[in-house]
């Protein structure tokens, strides 16, 4: 493993356990057994390292979604089910601590960076739903813009501390949000 990979891996473990706000560059360096000089060879600050981790997570997620959405042997319903499983798998890469730190940022470059990734995800979902509607897999009168608006509103409230207290993990929160969004509140049979 390269020094850069060691720094990323170490930071990821620390961020997942404690969130990124509480972890200093010195702590990352000490735990990774690298010097500050080595750290700053790869990252100009902690924010750049968090961005790298966000990129890694989003690359993993987009790869999962691409595999599901590109599988022409699946129906729309099967793709939605597999998409939920992929989303749940992706949520395992997050922790409440890391996610809370990210969602409770006031403004700034890091939050904007995350929001751009989220916009890519929403665009992917929009295109997927539009394609399904054109193939006749979704009701022709379904207003996809409304569905995406609902999804966006759901996402906007994901940083609500009251909501975050209801779940023990991001995985559980993701599973519940996806279930309500896709299946509603009725029992799956």
pLDDT in tens, 3-22: 999 999 999 999 989 999 99
Give the predicted TM-score (pTM) of the model.
Answer: 0.78
Low-confidence residues of the chain: pLDDT under 70? 107, 159, 186, 188-189
End-to-end CA distance of the chain: 47
pLDDT at 159: 67
pLDDT at 107: 65
Kindly give the residue spans of alpha helices, DSSP state H, lying in the chain.
3-18, 25-32, 36-42, 46-70, 76-91, 96-103, 109-134, 144-156, 161-165, 170-183
Largest CA distance in the chain: 60
């Amino acid at each position: 493993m390269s020094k850069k990979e060691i720094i990323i891996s170490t930071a990821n473990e620390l961020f997942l356990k404690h969130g990124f706000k509480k972890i200093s560059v010195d702590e990352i360096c000490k735990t990774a057994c690298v010097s500050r000089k080595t750290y700053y060879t790869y990252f100009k600050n902690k924010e750049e390292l968090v961005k790298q981790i966000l990129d890694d997570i989003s690359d993993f997620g987009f790869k999962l979604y691409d595999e599901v959405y590109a599988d022409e042997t699946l129906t729309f319903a099967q793709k939605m089910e597999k998409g939920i499983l992929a989303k749940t798998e992706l949520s395992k890469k997050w922790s409440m601590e890391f996610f809370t730190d990210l969602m409770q940022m006031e403004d700034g470059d890091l939050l904007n960076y995350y929001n751009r990734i989220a916009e890519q995800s929403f665009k992917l979902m929009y295109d997927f739903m539009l394609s399904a509607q054109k193939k006749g897999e979704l009701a022709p009168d379904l207003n996809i813009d409304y569905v995406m608006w609902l999804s966006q509103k759901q996402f906007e409230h994901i940083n609500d501390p009251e909501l975050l207290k209801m779940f023990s993990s991001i995985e559980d929160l993701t599973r519940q949000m996806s279930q309500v969004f896709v299946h509603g509140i009725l029992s799956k049979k």
